Structure 1
Amino acid sequence: MAKNITLAIDEDLLDKMRVLAAMRRTSVNAMVRDFFEHEVKREATQANRAEAWGRLFEAADNNAERRSRRLGDEAPLFDRELFYEEVMRERGLL
């Protein structure tokens, strides 16, 4: 169900938006609605990316800790090639 909202917009800006909307063969209302939808989707995408990166870094930290315990203090904390192999195995590509 659509809801009406009230916005306070400078008159000059509103005139420019009306011209722009006419050039795009749409309405100011549709442009505002599209802008809101775009911003909500963008925010959700950023949150999903941040969550995915968080999981990746957590997995890397956990793998590094397990490897450090397994190999002792002499081994480097992070081995890029070993991490790559572990990720590829998890994805069933190796």
Structure 2
Amino acid sequence: MEKQNVTLSLPKALLKKAKTLAVMKDRSLSELLRETLEEKVKEETGYQRARDRQLKLMHRGLDLGTKGSIAIARDELHDRR
């Protein structure tokens, strides 16, 4: 995988906590940031795919076995005796 350096501007307190976390996980700060970004991108793209899939399903509709006609009237269906 080809890599490219980037410059980030982070609050000092956040950077200090991130460095501490990286040390605790035995990772470099770059590795920690890369892993976190990869997880975020994977999560977002997975959500988008699932959303698109569900929207297509909603537009297509579901086969409820009625073949387009409803054999019972609403009043009969909800008739309470």
- Name the TM-score, length of structure 1 as normaliser: 0.62
Aligned to 2:45: 44
| 3-state SS of 1:67 partner | coil
> Structure 1 CA distance, aligned partners of 2:18 and 2:52?
36
Residue ranges of structure 2 left out of the alignment (5+ in a row): 72-81
> Structure 2 CA distance, aligned partners of 1:16 and 1:25?
14
- Name the TM-score, length of structure 2 as normaliser: 0.71
Instruction: Say how many residue pairs are matched.
Output: 69
Decide which structure has greater helix share: 1
Within 5 Å, give how 1:6-85 maps onto structure 2: 6-60=7-61, 63=63, 67-68=67-68, 71=69, 75=70
Aligned to 1:83: none
> Structure 1 CA distance, aligned partners of 2:27 and 2:49?
31
Q: Give the aligned CA root-mean-square deviation in angstroms.
A: 2.1
Q: Which runs of 4+ in 1 moved over 3 A?
A: none
Residue ranges of structure 1 left out of the alignment (5+ in a row): 77-94
